Amino acid sequence: MFGNMKDLTGSAIDRQNILNNKKAVENIKNFLGIKGMLFDGEYRFTRQQIVEFYGIDHSTIDRYLSQNEAELKHNGYTNLKGKALKEFKEEFGWILQEGAKAPQLGIFNFRSFLNLGMLLTESEKAKALRSKILDIVIDTLNEKLGGSTKFINQREEDFLIAMAREPAYRKEFTEALNKYLEMGNYKYAVYTDSIYKAIFFEKSTEYKLILKLEEKENMRDTMYSEVLRLIASFEVGIADYMKIKSETIGRKLTPNELNELIDEFAKQRFWIPQIEDARSKMASRDYGLRDIIHERLKPYISSLSAVDYERFLGDKSKDLLQRVLENPELLDVFKRLKER
């Protein structure tokens, strides 16, 4: 997982995922042991220091800044001018060489220093650093999770609450299938799949295969709270639609009629932003946290925010047992999860 096969030079999403992982960046900083100049709350590095560290020349920095300006500035590269430049020179002017009298000065913070190292193809030191960065990302995850990311979703604060409500919504859906659909008992599995396909384009069997779930493991136990809430909303909404449709026609629905109903339901404008959001969260989090790609959701992959990393890996994230000990009223949910 997160192996050295990843090419950081070619993937802006992979670069940003690492740079947004606060704990990983901190561990990389400790490994390198470089501090720079503490200015305005952050350690800073001059272009000359970058040249010396990566073994490149100033024209190479200029080229990468020109080609990747938005990304590097997003991650902390800045041009000091005016008052800020004056204050920087007063404190660190002695270290400056070229450009000491220039009206502006480009400086890197640690994140943009790493960002440049992930981009540089001309530097052997940058290449070695990229390999070590990927190793440290793996070690950071293992340190927090003990090596498995399968149930990383359960570390989120809202997960247990979503799971506590899930059985009631699920029951409404299964009861509607029982009352309003003319079909054998295999309908429960078939139409659970239909909902997953309507939302995520993939069957439950595909999802289980991608996450390498064992037969006894329930896929909902691996889902993020927002995804669980959307599925629950779909299930109770479709249950209501089935009731209305069945009572209108005076009989149970046929499978074809229910298929059409689900298709029409999913296309309502009300659902579009919610479905798009759930697809993006599942695709991006599974890629960034589990190193998993849902092929049908590739267009929805984006970098994870620092907030997401904090939610699942930060100080506020906790394993399931810790949360139950702090919230004993959720013990029944915990038991149900463990019995699956």
Q: Is residue 55 part of a domain?
A: yes
Q: What pLDDT, on the 0 to 100 scale, is given for residue 144?
A: 80
Q: Look at residue 99 and tell me if it is in a domain.
A: yes
**Tens of pLDDT along 244-266?**
999 999 999 999 999 999 999 99
Same domain, yes or no, for 192 and 289? yes
Per the domain annotation, does 224 fall within a domain?
A: yes
Positive or negative, the Cα torsion across 284, 118, 40, 316?
positive
The pLDDT tens digits of the residues spanning 149-195 come to 888 998 888 888 888 888 889 999 999 999 999 999 999 999 999 99
Asked, for residue 327, whether it belongs to a domain, the answer is yes
Q: Are residues 242 and 303 in the same domain?
A: yes
**288-328 tens-digit pLDDT:** 999 999 999 999 999 999 999 998 988 766 665 665 556 66
| Residue pair 19/13 in contact by the 8 Å Cβ criterion | no
Tell which residue, 339, 183, 200, 209, has the closest CA to residue 280.
200
Contacts of 233 (CB under 8 A, 6+ apart): 169, 274
List, for residues 10-37, the tens digit of each pLDDT value: 999 999 999 999 999 999 999 999 888 9
| pLDDT at residue 3 in the model | 47
Residue 1 forms part of a structural domain? no
CA nearest neighbour of 71 among 17, 112, 30, 102: 112
Could you tell me if 292 and 186 lie in one domain? yes
Q: Are residues 130 and 25 in the same domain?
A: yes
**Claim to verify: residue 162 and residue 116 sit in the same structural domain:** no
Q: Say what the pLDDT of residue 102 is.
A: 72
% residues pLDDT > 90 (the chain): 67
Q: Is the domain of 107 the same as that of 163?
A: no
Instruction: Please state the rounded mean pLDDT for residues 62-80.
Output: 96
Same domain, 166 and 93: no
- The verdict on 293 and 328 lying in the same domain is yes
Choose one of 83, 112, 145: the last residue of a domain.
Answer: 145
Residue 44 structural domain: 8-145
pTM of the model: 0.85
Instruction: Give the integer Cα–Cα distance in Å for 32 and 43.
Output: 13
| pLDDT value for 97 | 62
- The answer to whether residue 2 is domain-embedded is no
> What local confidence, expressed as pLDDT, does residue 5 receive?
56
Domain end position, chosen among 90, 118, 145: 145
**Same domain assignment for residues 317 and 227:** yes
4 pLDDT band, cuts 50/70/90, is: very low
Within this chain, do residues 138 and 158 fall inside the same structural domain, yes or no? Answer: no
**Is residue 84 over pLDDT 70?**
yes
Model confidence pLDDT, tens digit, residues 202-240: 988 899 999 999 888 889 999 999 999 999 999 999 999
Would residue 152 be called left, alpha or beta, if left means φ above 0 and alpha means ψ between -120 and 50 degrees? alpha
Residues 113 and 159 in one domain: no
pLDDT at 326: 62
Banded model confidence at residue 91, pLDDT cuts 50, 70, 90:
confident
- Structure-block tokens of residue 108: 């890197």
Domain count, the chain: 2
Task: Confirm whether 289 is domain-assigned.
Answer: yes
| Per-residue pLDDT at 1 | 45
Q: Are 25 and 111 in contact (CB under 8 A)?
A: yes
Distances in Å between the Cα of 216 and the Cα atoms of 153, 213, 221, 224, 339 are 18, 8, 11, 19, 10
> Is there a single domain that holds both residue 331 and residue 258?
yes
- Single out the residue in 96, 120, 145 at which a domain terminates: 145
Cα angle value 158/25/315 (rounded, 5°): 30
Q: Residue 100: inside a domain, yes or no?
A: yes
